[in-house]
Amino acid sequence: MKRALWLILVFAFMLPNAAYAANDITVTIDSVPVAFEMPPQIINDRVMVQIRAIVERLGCTVEWDDATQTSYINQPGVPLSRTAVKGQDINVYVNNQPVEFPDQKPVLYHDYVLIPSRGVIEALGYSVEWNDTTQTQAISTITGLATPPSTIPVKPDVTASPTPKPVTPVITATPTPMPKTSDGYIGNLNTHVFHYPDCSSVQRMSEKNKVYLPNRETAINDGYVPCQICKP
């Protein structure tokens, strides 16, 4: 009985920390988990992450300006411009543009800036998906995989090409179709007569005399005359 009471007291003591409970939250970038010094926390029902660990994996630089309580996140090639002023909240700038946090503000948590990451990730041009079942925040650098491209902010202020940048889906060029034998006409280089490809004369023509003519106009312009048998 005493033991049971002791356990209840222990759990009661732990309850105030529940709001900051560290669940097993995983953040992945293109399916590869991010290693955090400070694990993601649930604060006021929001997943709050150590943004530095994420954006450094994305190739960004992070500068903390203590005077203005600002975290400057810049993609490669974007020169840092310290324009923030100190406010009531922690500022987060992405490529020198302030990120808005309408719900849960960034917090300092054991000397780590923890923020709801979506605003930053989307400002960087990437998409985020939360999987409640696996408690995983999946960041994709592949445009359009998780979020329709139209929702990804366009950043005209980014002059240099950042690495990594969203991977543009490779559209394989459709090769120019080879002319089908049923299309166009076959001219005879020797006789300057042109035929439908299935004309019997074509079957007898030597390969070196065959010339492909895409249409009748080309044939006539090139000085070919229609065959009297197949009448092309």
Residues that bind Zn ion (CB under 5 A): 195, 199, 201, 227, 229-230
CA 32-152-164 angle, 5° bins: 45
- Shortest Å distance, C-beta 232 to Zn ion: 7
Looking at beta carbons only, is 9 or 220 nearer to Zn ion?
220
Q: What is the smallest separation between the CB atom of 178 and Zn ion, expressed in angstroms?
A: 22
Residue closer to Zn ion by CB (options 128, 230) is 230
44 or 200: CB nearest Zn ion: 200
Query: What is the 8-class DSSP label of residue 11?
Result: H
For the CB of residue 214, give the shortest distance to Zn ion in the complex, in Å: 17
- The enclosing H or E element of 4 equals helix 2-14
What span, in angstroms and rounded, lies between the C-alpha atoms of 108 and 178? 64
Q: List Cβ<8 Å contacts ≥24 apart for 127-132.
A: 127/151, 127/152, 130/47
Report which DSSP code applies to 35: P
CB of 183 to Zn ion, least distance (A): 16
Omega before 164 within 30 of 0, i.e. cis? yes
- Mapping DSSP to helix (H, G, I), strand (E, B) and coil, where does residue 47 land? strand
Query: d(Cα 191, Cα 88) in Å, to the nearest integer?
Result: 90
Structure token digits, residue 181 = 């034998």
CB of 193 to Zn ion, least distance (A): 7
Tell me whether residue 78 or residue 227 sits nearer to Zn ion (CB atom).
Answer: 227
Judged by beta carbon, residue 14 or residue 229, the one nearer Zn ion is 229
Considering beta carbons, is residue 84 or 227 the nearer one to Zn ion?
227
Q: Which residue is nearest to Zn ion (CB)?
A: 227
The answer to whether 140 touches 30, Cβ cutoff 8 Å, is yes
Amino acid in position 91 = N
Minimal distance in Å, beta carbon 182 to Zn ion? 14
Q: Please say whether the beta carbons of 84 and 188 come within 8 A.
A: no
Amino acid at 58: L
Closest to 109 (Cα-Cα) out of 36, 58, 27, 57:
36
